[in-house]
Amino acid sequence: MSITKGAAACSFAVAVLPAILAGGLPAQAAETDVTVHWGDAVITGAQTIGTILVPLAVTAATAAVARMAGPLRFLVTTTLVERMVRNAADYALNAVAGAVRGKSLTIPVGSAVIAQGVQRALDQAPAWLIEAAGGPTGIAEKIFRSLPLEATANAGNTLVPGLDAVLNRRTAI
């Protein structure tokens, strides 16, 4: 702004200000309309806010998904392992002679059911799921826990023989 424009603006303010305060405007000032284009300002402001908020929202959503991925993967894997063990145990109960669903299993029948269930899981399940279950030993332990066994059955006389039968069969193949 040059000095002459600044001086003109000052003199205009000095001339108009008393008229505005007195309640009137000079005739020339009263006839001119002032137009304020506020719509353009609102659109520009919204675009500016959007440019800031959209990346922040995307970052927050990505961080939330990243935090949930681990627990969600664990939940899905655990559910799939449980289903695999349940299906293998159900199959073994139907496949082993003398095994009756809902009744206590004797030690030899319990060992046979464990061996048959583990073998079924190893034959049918994907390798990553078998590894997530703890391998043949982990699957055998889970099937052992799910079976209704007689009171004298324990890990030494039921689980170990069933697992040995599977491991010996696998090494012979």
* 43 against 128, higher pLDDT: 128
Q: Which of 28-42, 47-61, 66-80, 94-108 has the lowest mean pLDDT?
A: 28-42
3 state SS of 83: helix
Calculate the average pLDDT of the chain: 84
Q: Output the pTM of the full model.
A: 0.62
The backbone region for 150, taken as left when phi is positive above 0, alpha when psi lies in -120 to 50, beta otherwise, is: beta
* Distance between CA atoms of residues 133 and 122, nearest Å: 11
Q: Does position 49 have pLDDT exceeding 60, yes or no? A: yes
* Distance between CA atoms of residues 100 and 33, nearest Å: 96
pLDDT tens profile 111-123: 999 999 999 999 9
Q: Which of 28-37, 45-54, 84-93, 154-163 has the lowest mean pLDDT?
A: 28-37
The number of CA neighbours under 13 Å toward the Cβ of 170 is 17
pLDDT tens profile 25-45: 555 555 677 777 788 888 888
